[in-house]
Amino acid sequence: MINGISDPIFVKDRQHRWILLNDTYCDFVGHSREELIGKSDYDFFPQAEADVFQKKDELVFTANITNESQDLFIDAQGITHLISTKKSCFEDETGNKFLVGSIRDIILQNEVAKVPSIAGRVTDITGLMENCEALRETLEELQVVEEELRQQNEELAIARETAELECQRYQDLFDLAPDAYLVTDIAGVIKEVNYVAAALLFVGQNYLVGKPFILFIAEPDRQTFMNKLANLQQQVQDWEVYLQPREGTAFPARIRMVAMYDSQGQRVGWRWLLCDISEQLAALRDVHDELHLRQQAEKDLHRINAVLQAQQEASIDGILIVDENLTVTSFNQKFSQLWQIPAALIQAGSDRQLVGWVLDKLINPDEFLAKVEYLYQHPEESSRDEIFLKSGEIFERYSAPVRKQEGACDEISPLGDYYGRIWYYRDITEYKQAEAELKASKQRLALLIEQTPLAIIEWNTNFEIQTWNRAAERIFRYTTEEMLGNHFESIIPENARKRVNEIITPLLTQSGGSFSVNENATKDGRTMVCEWYNNSLVAPNGQVIGVASMVLDITERKRAEEEQQKLVALVENSSDFIGIASMEGQVIYVNPAGLKMVGLSSLEAAKTKSMNDFHSPEAFAELIQHILPLMFQHGFWQGELRHRHFQTGIEIPTDCNLFMVKHPETGEPFCQVAVARDITEAKQAKEALLKSEAQLRQQAEELKVALRELQNTQTHLIQSEKMSSLGQLVAGVAHEINNPVNFIYGNLTPAKEYTQDLLSLLQLYQSHYPEPVLEIQDFAELIELEFLKSDLPQIINSMKVGADRIREIVLSLRTFSRLDEAEMKAVNIHEGIDSTLMILQNRLKGNDQRPTIEIIKEYSKLPLVECYAGQLNQVFMNLLSNAIDALEEGVRSGDEGAGGVGGAGEEELVIIDQCPMPNAPCPMPNAQFPISTIRICTQLQEPNQVIISIADNGLGIPENVKKQLFDPFFTTKPIGKGTGMGLAISYQIITERHGGSLECISQPGQGAKFVIKIPLIQDTST
């Protein structure tokens, strides 16, 4: 709309910035609207000129008057204009002030210049007419300006008269006002004062004029008054001070100051309104005290209610409160959670529907109602009982009357002050289940102690035996009745008692454990070697109350170690060269005969050499190029090899046996062994050679026997060490894993409840205090409180799942290991097979490298089988591991020929308890049968034989390999994949330890089947 006005129009805000312009104004100043909006005069005009504009604008704002002035203005084209600018101030409904200005161009520069040019050139006849015409036009415009000025003078005269009348009216109001008024200059000196103000200060009006107002401000408030006055920015200011009259004491007063300005907008003084507020303050104090007492009472009441509400909501029990009229007055969130009350039912607020909902969940609602009616008929009684729900849950219910408490000792008032009844409900389902589980756990622990192959012995601080299990009876030959209450020294030989006391005594003074290997005596006088694991039994108060020991008989293992020492002595005293080198060729050991043969003075000197130093360059080249490759291929080499004498350099012809020794666990070769005999003399004479050959054959045969004995001894040692390690594993599981897991598992449920309670309490705080302090808000954001509230219960659930999984694994390890290699006992072999499958579960599951292996179990109903359970489980482990290896090898062969079998990702293990086609051959993995399968069958063959077969549908075993399957150290797997001991150990366990047979039935491409046959009942007569 303003663009339709021909005159330049502009609007400024209180900060003197343009906020609205019309097009004419933009053209007039020579800048676009975008350049001008938000800017001030200082952005476009010189400093001096902008100061003038700013001062005039400020006068309009502060005095709230209309200002009109005439100025010379140079526009954007450099043309000088005589302009008339009119500025007014208006205020919107929110109190914001704006300045509106309009500009009228009175005369242009060229027209201004014409007036003096006419007077200067009156003699110029040629331009006289033009100048006269211009002068006429100028005079007409000046006449218009003169008329406008006359009208303005008339308006000013009227305004002056009006102002004088207003001034007189103001003076009358000032003098006759009922309130105290006075006027000061900018320095605070009183210029005018009315009668009321003079009376208020107990002085005359004339006395006050010319006096500084600060003299009548009470001394304590003067400095504050001066500071406020110096920093005053507003036009109107209110505050309270104490005034000091000429006579009397200071009194409180409310002061209002109003700034006064001259026509130029300059502040020239203040108008003051004074009011004595002594009576108002006194009345206000009385009201304030009464209000404070009432607010304090309300605050205390709110606090009590909040505490009661918080206690109710924070309770772990469901709480229901019913008044004396049998109306439900309140219940907490836990109550609705326990009874699973729908939100719609809670919002309905129907007591009848609520009772109906609760009764519908009970097994015996009539008994429930009868108890409730009895208690309401006997309001003085309390009650505690258990109620059973259809869902299987069990609630503990407690009820007590609500009555007024009187006196300092909280005495119960008479029944006249009976307000109803409070009911508490607590879910004790898990407690009941835990109680039953604890009882079962104690029973299982007792069975474990009785059935474990480890001797479990407990004694008190007087070294008197308190616990003596069956394994202890078997190992030490003493019955429980013979040992309970007796001193433990009866099983300690006389020569070992001092050392045992040194080990045991510290356990009675401090917590912890110890391990020792001791000699022990049996009832029948035998001496044996046992490993002892001792742990202090510490009461909750920290006092040691006894010691628990686990004992393992390692006599057989010690004997095996002694046999090994005999073999070492045999090597040391052998007359042949026996040397050991690393796989890199560095010499590790040479026996004394070998050192003498090659002319070395000591073993230390030999260790500084490598294999090539023991041979001439030609002999070493033959060794590297021909002999060692054959040894690496077949595991051994035998033939003539030339050694070099270090002192003389002469080559020594030897009959040499080279073989590699592999690590029993990893199957990796870790050293090379050379057994060589000097055959120099045999080569010099045929007769001596024939004799030497006979001796060599005999020695070779003896060496083979020794090696075979060494291998058998090594196999036996490995088996003994493995089973001993398993015993230590079970001990570690029982004391280092199982107990902490049970502790964690038992605490997960209360931890979950406590967490839920804390989260509920946090929710209550958030609901009652939705706007906490800033520090709490910042910390809540820092810890991601909302995510923590949702994730913490999930973490506890994950911990419970993990604890369950660990307990299952521990049970499987116990079943697998048995730890009874020294005891023949009747066991369920199906449990041993299942525990072995549990341990191998990770290899049976499929992933992106192999498919899932399907297990088909065809178990017959077998009685308990007498066997060495731990050793038999080791056989199952070896056979199943080999079957898995064969199936994986078949999958790799299929991948190379047909693009692989199985899909990406991990697949679940498939176990079929009964095959739909018993005794059918396992299908080979191919396009029609892409499933890798292991079938496990058990059956009883009359009269006294059990058959276990483990079959796979892998690649099968060639005939030439089958002949060597059960030979020690024979393996078809790559280096590092097998030791060659698994099937040899298994064969020995089945044939020698159990009097059975182990047979392999296989053909290439038809899979492999291992058949175990052992007696159901072992013949103990042999």
User: What was the pLDDT predicted at 149?
Assistant: 64
- Co-location of 380 and 507 in the same domain: no
- Co-location of 986 and 964 in the same domain: yes
- Co-location of 978 and 832 in the same domain: yes
- Co-location of 546 and 579 in the same domain: no
- Give 6-43 pLDDT, tens digit per residue: 788 888 998 989 988 888 888 888 888 888 899 998 88
- Please check whether residue 922 is in contact with residue 953, taking contact to mean a CB–CB distance below 8 angstroms: yes
**The last residue of a domain, from among 535, 555, 575:** 555
Q: How many CB atoms lie within 10 A of CB 401?
A: 19
Question: Which CATH number fits the domain that encloses residue 32?
Answer: 3.30.450.20
- Co-location of 547 and 574 in the same domain: no
Within a domain: residue 141? no
Question: Which CATH number fits the domain that encloses residue 836?
Answer: 3.30.565.10
Read off the DSSP letter of residue 611: G
Q: What is the dihedral of CA 755, 761, 767, 769, to 10 degrees?
A: -120
- Co-location of 866 and 957 in the same domain: yes
- Co-location of 351 and 482 in the same domain: no
pTM score: 0.31
If we measure between CA atoms, which residue out of 787, 935, 907 comes closest to residue 851?
Answer: 907
Let me know the angle formed at the C-alpha of 793 by 790 and 795, rounded to the nearest 5 degrees: 105
* 3-class secondary structure, 861: coil
Let me know the angle formed at the C-alpha of 833 by 830 and 835, rounded to the nearest 5 degrees: 105
Structural domains counted in the chain: 7
Q: How many CB atoms lie within 10 A of CB 753?
A: 14
Within a domain: residue 154? no
- Co-location of 848 and 956 in the same domain: yes
Bridge partners of 410? Answer: none
- Co-location of 799 and 850 in the same domain: no
Cα separation, 208 vs 269, in Å, equals 16
- Please check whether residue 989 is in contact with residue 879, taking contact to mean a CB–CB distance below 8 angstroms: no
Q: What contacts 509, CB < 8 A, 6 or more positions away? A: 544
User: What was the pLDDT predicted at 123?
Assistant: 40
- Co-location of 671 and 594 in the same domain: yes
Whether residue 540 has a cis bond before it, omega within 30° of 0: no
**The last residue of a domain, from among 759, 781, 810:** 810
What averages of pLDDT result for each successive group of 10 residues across the chain (1022 residues)? Answer: 76 90 86 89 86 87 82 74 84 82 68 40 43 55 64 73 68 68 87 86 86 87 80 76 86 87 82 85 80 82 77 82 83 86 78 83 89 87 90 90 62 62 89 83 76 85 86 88 84 83 77 81 88 85 85 86 83 88 90 90 88 88 89 88 90 90 85 89 70 78 76 64 56 64 81 88 88 88 87 84 70 54 79 86 81 91 88 88 86 54 41 51 50 92 89 89 80 67 84 89 89 88 60
Cα separation, 730 vs 531, in Å, equals 14
Give the C-alpha distances (Å, rounded to integers) separating 648 from 488, 643, 651, 652, 872.
67, 12, 9, 11, 58
Within a domain: residue 735? yes
Amino acid, res. 805: R
Within a domain: residue 113? no
Cα separation, 933 vs 671, in Å, equals 38
User: What was the pLDDT predicted at 108?
Assistant: 47
Q: Strand 577-582 relative to strand 587-590: parallel, antiparallel, unpaired?
A: antiparallel
Within a domain: residue 841? yes
- Please check whether residue 38 is in contact with residue 11, taking contact to mean a CB–CB distance below 8 angstroms: no
Reported as type and span, the H/E element at residue 131 is helix 125-176
Strand stretches in 97-165, DSSP E = 97-108
Q: What contacts 974, CB < 8 A, 6 or more positions away? A: none
User: What was the pLDDT predicted at 518?
Assistant: 84
Q: Is the dihedral of CA 160, 161, 164, 170 positive or negative?
A: negative
Within a domain: residue 910? no
- Please check whether residue 180 is in contact with residue 273, taking contact to mean a CB–CB distance below 8 angstroms: yes
* 3-class secondary structure, 430: helix
- Co-location of 517 and 662 in the same domain: no
Q: Strand 180-185 relative to strand 190-193: parallel, antiparallel, unpaired?
A: antiparallel
**Could you list the residue range(s) of the whole structural domain that residue 392 is in?**
315-403+418-432
Within a domain: residue 215? yes
- Give 880-933 pLDDT, tens digit per residue: 988 898 888 877 776 554 333 333 344 445 555 554 444 545 554 554 445 889
**The last residue of a domain, from among 528, 555, 582:** 555
Rounded to 5, what percent of the chain is helix, strand, coil?
A: 50, 25, 25
Within a domain: residue 159? no
- Co-location of 426 and 457 in the same domain: no
Cα separation, 674 vs 580, in Å, equals 6
